[in-house]
Amino acid sequence: MIFDAHMLARYFVLGTQDVRDEAKFFEVLTAALQSGITLFQYREKGPGALIGTDKLRVAQKVRALTHQYHVPLVIDDDITLAHAVQADGVHFGQGDGAPEKNIQQAGALFVGVSVSTPQEYARIADLSGIDHIGIGPVYLTHSKADAKPAIGTAGLQAIAEMSRWPSVAIGGITLENLAAVLNTDVAGAAVISMISQSDDIAQTLQFWQTLSTKKEP
């Protein structure tokens, strides 16, 4: 699949460790797919995360489900798994191995790279083979135990302005601060808990879609 910046508009990230069990994982993912997410990242990381054959089994079910709803699938920091399930893209942080090697191994997959500071952006600015960057954490987040300091919307805007690739905001994004995030030069936002902990996923995505529509030229 060819990367399109519009995919970044409503980007949902989830792993089984983010919810109480596998059944809840698929319940939340299905509701999100039905309600208008534009990209899904399968991310198993941290305490309780699946590994090995269990991770592969869930990833295969995720691939089938995302195909059913015509939503592109990204795998976090596991290029081998991404190829195994025929995902559309892969995402990795700058601490997840050498970017040049990761890009080469990604092959035809589209590639996203995390950026937290202008210095981190400078390290990858001259590389080819990157399709977009994830900028953050914008706000304090509890979804990642190793999260870097929050950069705020000012930091987000500064990196988005210098980026030669489309960018997506990540980290601590909620319904309350979503409008401020989308008011910067990003193509969209990536969230975990805003959807996974929502009492009404359809309503959350409807609100998000309204803000996304206002942002479009």
Residues of each annotated binding site = 41-45, 76-77, 96, 114, 141-144, 172, 192-193
**How far is Cα 110 from Cα 133, in angstroms, rounded to an integer?**
11
φ/ψ of residue 113, rounded to 5:
-130, 135
Closest alpha carbon to 43 in 11, 19, 68, 78:
78
10, 35, 63, 114: the catalytic one is 114
Q: Residue 50's Cα: distance from chain center in Å?
A: 18
What residues are designated binding site for Mg(2+)? Answer: 77, 96
**How far is Cα 100 from Cα 91, in angstroms, rounded to an integer?**
13
10, 35, 43, 163: the catalytic one is 43
**How far is Cα 94 from Cα 115, in angstroms, rounded to an integer?**
7
Instruction: Please confirm, yes or no, whether 215 is among the known catalytic residues.
Output: no
Residue whose entry in the numeric block shows the structure tokens 């993912």: 29
The helix/strand/coil state of 64 is helix
Closest alpha carbon to 188 in 156, 150, 143:
156
Residue 136: CB partners within 8 Å, gap ≥ 6?
114, 116, 150, 151, 156, 169, 170, 171, 172
Which sequence positions are flagged as catalytic?
A: 43, 114, 144
